[in-house]
Chains A and B, each alone.
Chain A
Amino acid sequence: MNSDDTMAEVQRKPWLKPSITPLRSGFLNKSGAARHMIWRDNIDGVPVKKLLEEFKSPLFVISEQTLRKNSDSIREAFRRRYPDVLFGWSYKTNYLGAVCNVLHQEGDLAEVVSVFEYEKARRLGVPGDCILFNGPNKSREILERAVNEGAHIHIDHLDELYLLEDIARSMERVVDVAIRLNFDTGYTEPWSRFGFSVESGQALDAAWRIASSDNLNLVGLHAHIGTFVMEPLAYKAEVKIMCEFMEEVEKKTGCIIKYIDVGGGFASMNSLQGIYLPPEQVIPSIDQYAEAICDTLLQFTHDRESRDCSRPTLILETGRAVVDDAEVLISSVVANKHLPDGRRAVILDAGVNDLFTAFWYNHDVSPSRQLWGRPEETVLYGPLCMNIDVMRHSVMLPPLNVGDTLIFSPVGAYNNTQWLQFIEYRPNIVLIDEEGEVSLIRAAEDLDVVTQQERLPQHLEKPYPKGVPRNFLESTK
């Protein structure tokens, strides 16, 4: 016997969880036993293992490089096609300070819809006149501040119009304003609860009202036709309707429209539940959106110059298409289970409390190491005590061990804003900068953070003022 043989005898094989897969008709193809499972062991060159050692699991990781690259390529797609374009960063999509400032550094204005978002933008150092102020809930107080600071107010309804006029009058100012429009593009469900309806004539009424005011001046039109809009033609229709309205309102009221803000809504490379084709096949490219918008805008504004009035500035409030694929969520396996119907289930340390968008997306899930073994239909659950806490209803995965990590992507849009403090603490968020340096940009919550706003009335300061309940494990005989 040579020494190699002896070695082979002593060396024990790595353990792989034993698995059983029922053979159902139509199941074999789907399971694709030999399907190559892609894994991802680093984010922008930083090993996943190292990230988790330092910042714990679960962990959100943002790539500054991807964020800047996305912002740049979207900006370029529009600048190539229309001479005067600006972007407003939609705070609600992701209002982490670090994310907002990356995008402000790239040249974005701030698009805000509440007192909180307004104050956040101002605290980050955004000047008032770089703020686009949307939203249906603007109090007198915040409107006064917005007027004083020169923010661009987009009026949502008549009550806001009258309130703003009153504020402007009492300040003896003439305030430039925009109105939000709603209309049917024929492609998307009209978001008719926001703004003034073009079809019903409300929008023209509002414009007339502004024109007749000594303190308001209509300079802009705003609309937002929906979110995750997968049809570029919807934007063609939007721009056409807005341009026709611009012509009409200028002719009838004598105002001059300086900007058209078409809102956001471009889809990101994510899989909506219920759509079975991969996103690469159904999501339009940014160029397709840009072409639909800019070509239509050029077409409907070409004769403005001959009338000695300039083309309006085009403003976009693109949210998810900028930030979604710049962030991932790393989550670890807590336990394996088999459901009574035989399906494999995995419990993770992150659930819908962290990944709110799991309610409507089938996020991509990649392991952080090469997984061996036959992929099986698997349900991924979060840690909450709720049936609805499902991260993926069905995903083909080889067996996983406790402690293995899965990477969910893209998760940059609407998670770090809509997530819930429910049952669990929310985890750390880190940013990897363009040099590969990792910074904590939002610390994980702890008991102090979560209970900071609570107050206990004096009579409720103690849980058991009359003594603790009896030990129920001791017999009572």
Chain B
Amino acid sequence: MELPEKTDSSDNETFPPLISLQRLAISENGFVFDPVSGHNFTVNETGLVILRMLQKDNQLAPLLDNLMCEYDAPRRELERDVVEFAGLLRDYVGE
């Protein structure tokens, strides 16, 4: 059976749109406010690093590359946790 070419999971669907991410107000200690959805939430240390990276570029692959440089963990594990984080982020951040 011919498998369809695996799509690169770094398509734009994983994370909220760049403009939504860029409007988030993020404090040093992880408090986040979305002025459009009105949601408040907090992120931990790693969440904060990811959000900051995402405000520059919301593609999965480069994000994982960056995280690989900073953190001591296999790419598989980083990807799993980031994808889950992204799922939550979509709920908290409006379009």
**Which residues of A are interface residues toward B (Cβ below 8 A)?**
12-23, 33, 336, 338, 342, 373-374, 399
Contact = CB atoms under 8 A, between A and B. Distances in A.
B88 A17 contact: no
Most buried by B among A13, A14, A16, A19: A19
B71 A13 contact: yes
Contacts of B91: 342
Given A13-B70, A18-B82, A22-B39, 13 more contacts: A12-B70, A12-B71, A12-B72, A15-B71, A15-B72, A15-B78, A16-B46, A17-B44, A20-B41, A20-B88, A23-B31, A23-B41, A338-B88
Nearest to B74: A15
Contacts of B73: 14-15
5 contacts: A12-B69, A16-B44, A18-B50, A19-B43, A20-B89
A462 to B, nearest CB: 31
B44 A374 contact: yes
Contacts of A374: 42, 44
B65 to A, nearest CB: 13
B42 A23 contact: yes
Nearest to B32: A20
B45 interface: yes
A33 B42 CA distance: 11
B12 interface: no
Nearest to B88: A20
A338 B46 CA distance: 17
Interface residues of B, number: 28
Interface of B: 31, 39-47, 49-50, 69-73, 77-78, 81-82, 84-85, 87-89, 91-92
A15 B46 contact: yes
A18 B41 contact: no
Nearest to B89: A20
Nearest to B92: A20
Contact of A21 (B42, B70, B77): B42
A19 B47 contact: yes
A13 B48 CA distance: 15
Nearest to B71: A15
B43 A20 contact: yes
Nearest to A473: B1
A18 B72 contact: no
A374 B45 CA distance: 9
A464 B31 CA distance: 61
Contacts of B45: 16, 373
Nearest to B1: A473
Contacts of B82: 18
B10 to A, nearest CB: 17
